[in-house]
């Protein structure tokens, strides 16, 4: 039986370990409608998320994110990155799909979501996702997040003409609205919300250690199902 568990990175420091505890979330008291004027006309779309990992991975994780939610930044900085590093990258057993879920109580969430998706047009969605959340305190202050987000894009080496055009026409707003609608269908009302193989995880199941155990259990279960029975082996 092949086990999915991989060696943990050395960078698991005590301070980082504290971030892997029980998940807290933004919008737990109920998520107000987001200020997306196209939302009413857009249908929910499960395919509008941004995936990473192999198509045939036995475990699929969905994350619903609001880029201005501080708890999303906390989750991304430790648990999200380590799961991707240990179980998604290099053909690992997990496929991760990121869904925008603009809560509505943060003023700059939509520009940040657009920036990540515009970077994605140049193959840089996940690097932009990481830097936007890691430097959340830089673009969430004041009333002009766009120049700071543009600086991030420039640092990533993007074609800035293409990035500016993408941000200018807000071409990914429909996808952002569609994933918000999809989250609504699933009963999502806070961020980050995590699903593993279609099941919504409780807060106590969202530490790195808990998600790792669920991944391992799913992989082991599938491996056991694939093993030949006594009659099949004859």
pLDDT tens profile 159-203: 999 999 999 999 999 999 999 999 999 999 999 999 999 999 999
* Secondary structure (H, E, C), 76-129: HHHHHHHHHHHHHHHHCCEEEEEEECCCCCCCCHHHHHHHHHHHHCCCCHHHHH
> Which pTM was predicted?
0.84
Q: What is the pLDDT of residue 8?
A: 38
Q: In the block, which residue shows the tokens 């995880």?
A: 201
Which DSSP helix (H) or strand (E) runs through 180?
Answer: helix 173-185
Interval 39-69: pLDDT, tens: 678 899 999 999 999 999 999 999 999 999 9
Interval 200-228: pLDDT, tens: 999 999 999 999 999 999 999 988 887 77
Determine what percent of the chain falls in helix, strand and coil, rounding each to the nearest 5: 50, 10, 40
Pairing of strands 94-100, 59-65: parallel
Cα 124 from Cα 166, distance rounded (Å) = 14
Alpha carbon of 2 to those of 155, 172, 225, 226: distances in Å?
A: 40, 40, 13, 11
Q: What is the pLDDT of residue 37?
A: 62
CB atoms within 10 A of CB 223: 14
Least Cα distance to 103 among 193, 179, 180 occurs for: 180
SS3 210: helix
Assess whether pLDDT exceeds 60 at residue 233.
Answer: no
């Amino acid at each position: 039986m092949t086990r999915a568990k991989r060696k943990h990175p050395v960078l698991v420091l005590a301070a980082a370990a504290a971030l892997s505890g029980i998940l807290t979330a933004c919008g737990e008291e109920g998520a107000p409608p987001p200020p997306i004027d196209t939302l009413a006309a857009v249908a929910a779309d499960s395919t509008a998320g941004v995936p990473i990992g192999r198509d045939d991975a036995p475990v699929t994780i969905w994350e619903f994110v609001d880029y201005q939610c501080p708890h999303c930044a906390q989750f991304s900085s430790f648990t999200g990155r380590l799961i991707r590093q240990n179980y998604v990258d290099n053909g690992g057993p997990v496929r991760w799909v990121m869904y925008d879920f603009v809560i509505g109580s943060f003023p700059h969430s939509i520009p940040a979501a657009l920036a990540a998706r515009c970077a994605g047009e140049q193959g840089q969605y996940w690097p932009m996702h990481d830097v936007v959340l890691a430097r959340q305190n830089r673009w969430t202050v004041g009333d002009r997040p766009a120049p700071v987000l543009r600086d991030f894009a420039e640092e990533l080496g993007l074609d800035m003409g293409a990035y500016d055009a993408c941000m200018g026409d807000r071409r990914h707003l429909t996808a952002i609205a569609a994933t918000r609608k999809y989250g609504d269908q699933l009963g999502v009302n806070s961020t980050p919300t995590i699903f593993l193989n279609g099941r919504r995880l409780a807060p106590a199941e969202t530490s790195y250690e808990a998600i790792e155990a669920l991944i391992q259990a799913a992989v082991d279960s599938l491996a056991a199902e694939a093993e030949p029975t006594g009659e099949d082996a004859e």
